[in-house]
Chain A
Amino acid sequence: MAETSRDRLVRLLGIVTYLDHHGSTPFAELAEHFGVAPAQVRKDISTLWTSGLPGYMHGDLIDFDADAFDRDVAALLDGQGVAQVRLSSREAVALVASLSTLASSGVAPEVVDAVLDKLREALAEPVIVLAEGDGADAGVSEPLMEALRRYRRVELTYVDALDRRTTREVDPHRLVVIDGVGYLECFCRRADDYRTLRLDRIEAVEVLDAAVSTPPGDSAGFSLTPAFRATVRLGRAGRWALEDIPGLTVEDAEDDVIATFDAADAEWVAGRLLAVAPQLRSVEPAQLRGALHRQAQAVLDAHRA
Chain B
Amino acid sequence: MTAIAPEQRLLNLILGLSNTRHRLTRAQIRDSIEGYAPAPSGADEETAAAADSAFERMFERDKKALRELGIPLETVVDPAHGDEIGYRIRPAEAAMPPLELTAAELAVVGLAADYWQDAALGTDARQAVMKLASSAEHGPRVELPFAGRATRVQDAVAALIEAVADRQAVRFEYSSASGGTGTRTLEPWKVVFRGGVAYVVGHDRDREDARIFRVQRIGGAVRRVGDPGAYAIPEEIPLGLLAAAHTSHTATVALRPESGHALRRRGRAVGVESGWDLVEVDYTHDDALRAEVLALGGAARIVTPRHLALAVERHAAAALEVGRG
Residues of chain A touching chain B, judged by Cβ–Cβ distance below 8 Å, are 5-15, 17-18, 21-22, 29, 32-34, 47-48, 50-54, 56, 80-95, 97-102, 104-105, 107-109, 111-112, 114-115, 118-119, 122, 124, 128-134, 148, 159, 163, 165, 173-181, 200-201, 203, 220-221, 235-241, 243-244, 246, 252, 257, 267, 270-275, 277-278, 280-283, 286, 289-290, 292-305
B162 & A102 in contact (Cβ 8 Å cutoff)? no
In the complex, chain B residues whose CB is within 8 Å of the CB of A220: 147, 149
In order of increasing CB-CB distance, the 8 nearest A-B pairs are A180-B196, A298-B298, A133-B195, A293-B323, A88-B70, A271-B295, A275-B291, A14-B134
**Cβ contacts B74-92/A at 8 Å (1 or 0 each):** 0000000000000000010
Taking a contact as CB atoms under 8 Å apart, the answer to whether A115 and B109 are in contact is yes
Residues of B within 8 A of A238 (CB): 175
Q: Do B161 and A300 touch across chains, with their CB atoms under 8 A apart?
A: no
> Taking chain B's interface residues, is the majority helix, strand, or loop, or is none over half, making it mixed?
helix
The smallest C-beta distance from B298 to any residue of chain A, in angstroms, reads: 3
A34 touches B130 (CB 8 A): yes
Docked Cα-Cα span, A257 to B11, in Å, equals 47
* Cβ–Cβ contact B95 & A85, under 8 A: yes
Contact A33 B149 (CB under 8 A): no
Which of A22, A107, A180, A241 neighbours the largest number of chain B CB atoms within 10 Å of its CB?
A180
Q: Are A176 and B147 in contact, with the CB atoms below 8 A? A: yes
Number of CB contacts from chain A to chain B under 8 A? 401
A10: nearest residue on chain B (CB-CB)? B130
Chain B hits for A86, CB < 8 A: 70-71, 93-97, 131
A278–B314 CB distance below 8 A? yes
| Residues on B facing A (Cβ under 8 Å) | 5-8, 10-12, 14-16, 18-19, 32-34, 65, 67-71, 91, 93-97, 99, 101, 104-105, 108-109, 111-113, 115-116, 121-122, 124-125, 127-131, 133-135, 138, 144-152, 158, 161-162, 164-165, 173, 175-177, 180-181, 190-198, 214, 216-217, 219-220, 237, 239, 242, 258-262, 265, 287, 290-291, 293-302, 309, 312-320, 322-325
Instruction: A86 to B314: give the CA distance in the assembly, Å.
Output: 55
Assuming the A-B contacts A107-B146, A174-B145, are A277 and B195 also in contact, with contact meaning beta carbons closer than 8 angstroms in the complex? Answer: no
Chain B residues positioned under 8 Å from A5 (CB to CB): 5-7, 10, 65
Q: What would 15 more interface pairs be, CB under 8 Å, given A12-B11, A294-B297, A299-B294?
A: A10-B69, A17-B135, A81-B15, A87-B131, A91-B70, A98-B115, A102-B111, A163-B261, A176-B146, A203-B265, A240-B176, A243-B216, A274-B294, A277-B319, A292-B319
Q: How far is the CA of A180 from the CA of B258 in the complex (A)?
A: 28
Bound-state Cα–Cα, A42 to B121, Å: 30
Residues of B within 8 A of A85 (CB): 14, 69-71, 94-96, 131
> How many Å lie between the Cα of A284 and that of B228 in the bound state?
46
- Residue in A98, A100, A128, A148 whose CB lies within 8 Å of B125: A98
B129: chain A residues within 8 A (beta carbon)? 95
Identify A9's interface contact among B7, B34, B135, B318, CB under 8 A: B7
CA distance A131 to B11 in the complex (A): 39
Q: How far is the CA of A214 from the CA of B220 in the complex (A)?
A: 44
Q: How far is the CB of A252 from chain B (nearest CB, A)?
A: 8
**Which chain B residues border A178 with CB–CB below 8 Å?**
148-151
The 8 Å CB contact of A21, one of B135, B151, B192, is B135
Pair A296/B320 contact, Cβ less than 8 Å: yes
Q: How far in angstroms is the closest Cβ of chain A from B61?
A: 10
Of B93, B130, B220, B325, which is within 8 A of A286 by CB? B325
Bound Cα distance from A303 to B313, whole angstroms: 7
Q: Which of B128, B150, B302 is packed against the most chain A CB atoms within 10 Å?
A: B128
A84 and B15 form a contact (CB under 8 A): no
Q: Is the CB of B96 within 8 A of A93?
A: no
Q: Please, which residue of chain A has its CB at the minimum distance from the CB of B19?
A: A53
In the complex, the chain B residue whose C-beta lies closest to that of A48 is B11
- A sample of 27 inter-chain contacts (CB < 8 A) reads A5-B10, A6-B65, A12-B7, A17-B134, A33-B133, A87-B96, A88-B69, A93-B124, A98-B113, A115-B112, A128-B192, A201-B262, A220-B149, A221-B149, A238-B175, A244-B216, A272-B295, A273-B319, A274-B295, A274-B316, A290-B323, A292-B323, A295-B316, A299-B297, A300-B313, A302-B298, A303-B301
Using CB atoms, name the residue of chain B closest to A165. Answer: B261
- Chain A residues lying within 8 Å of B320, measured Cβ to Cβ, are 293, 296-297, 300
Chain B nearest CB, measured from A200 CB (Å): 8
Docked Cα-Cα span, A236 to B134, in Å, equals 47
Alpha-carbon gap, A173 to B147, bound state (A): 11
How distant is the Cα of A13 from the Cα of B313 in the complex, in angstroms?
63
